[in-house]
Structure 1
């Protein structure tokens, strides 16, 4: 996995809220791959509250929710932007994953080699602490 899992005793992020940019259902072998969603990154909360591996400013509610039916493929989340973005994911098992620059060019990547079926709540952060930053979330099985 390209990102670190973090243990969070107290979580301020509210994955029960509706995601700002929608809920999407994807199953193994989905097309197109990557599945791309345009978002606005950032927010007013410091992602570091989730653990030392987390960085940037994120919103309270998720930006995107992916309902995923797993198969035998890995599942990757990558953010593309002209700004320095970060990524925070709460997986179907309630574990938190964070990344800053694993995809290169200041782009984050979280890869699940053996993903679980279920709900993935995704926050796209902005490293410099801003909000409203244009970004694209790519979800892929490659």
Structure 2
């Protein structure tokens, strides 16, 4: 049973990188380099059920990034990826909601806008639509609501 849990995105696993940021800190766009891709096909994972898009995607088990966010009350948060392949984005918010996107940033790259992000931990996985791996960049930026 333990192996099955390890074979899906799991926010209980240690992230590749962790950061703290406030809404004001992210008012200037921030960039984070990452290798997009993973071995876990999202729809084989019963623990992950995004309330947004339902496209394909392969993601690592551990989050690529974890952010401890504070003072987000007056901001919306834009999370996007720019990559050399068909990237996909999976996030789990502080309120335990899953979000997925594949192409909303254009050029086969993902973008998710959280219009009312909660303070607390948000985990992010940068995967790919087809299971390939490539260079990518996570981008975060807040905007006044």
Number of aligned residue pairs: give it. Answer: 131
> Does residue 110 in structure 1 map to residue 105 in structure 2?
no
> Structure 2, unaligned stretches of length 5 or more?
none
Aligned Cα RMSD in Å? 1.9
Structure with the higher fraction of residues in helix conformation: 2
- With over 3 angstroms needed to count, the CA separation of the structure-2 counterparts of 1:54 and 1:120, relative to structure 1, is farther
SS at match of 1:48: helix
Residue in 1 that maps onto 2:136 = 135
User: How does the TM-score come out when normalised to structure 1?
Assistant: 0.85
User: How does the TM-score come out when normalised to structure 2?
Assistant: 0.83
Name which of 2, 8, 11 aligns with 1:15: 11
Bigger Rg over Cα: 2
CA distance in 2, matches of 1:95, 1:31: 21
Q: Contact conserved, 2:56 with 2:130, CA < 8 A, in 1?
A: no
CA distance in 1, matches of 2:63, 2:26: 23
> Structure 1, unaligned stretches of length 5 or more?
1-9
Can you list the C-alpha shifts for 1:20-55, whole angstroms capped at 9, x where unaligned? 2x1011102115721111001111000223347142
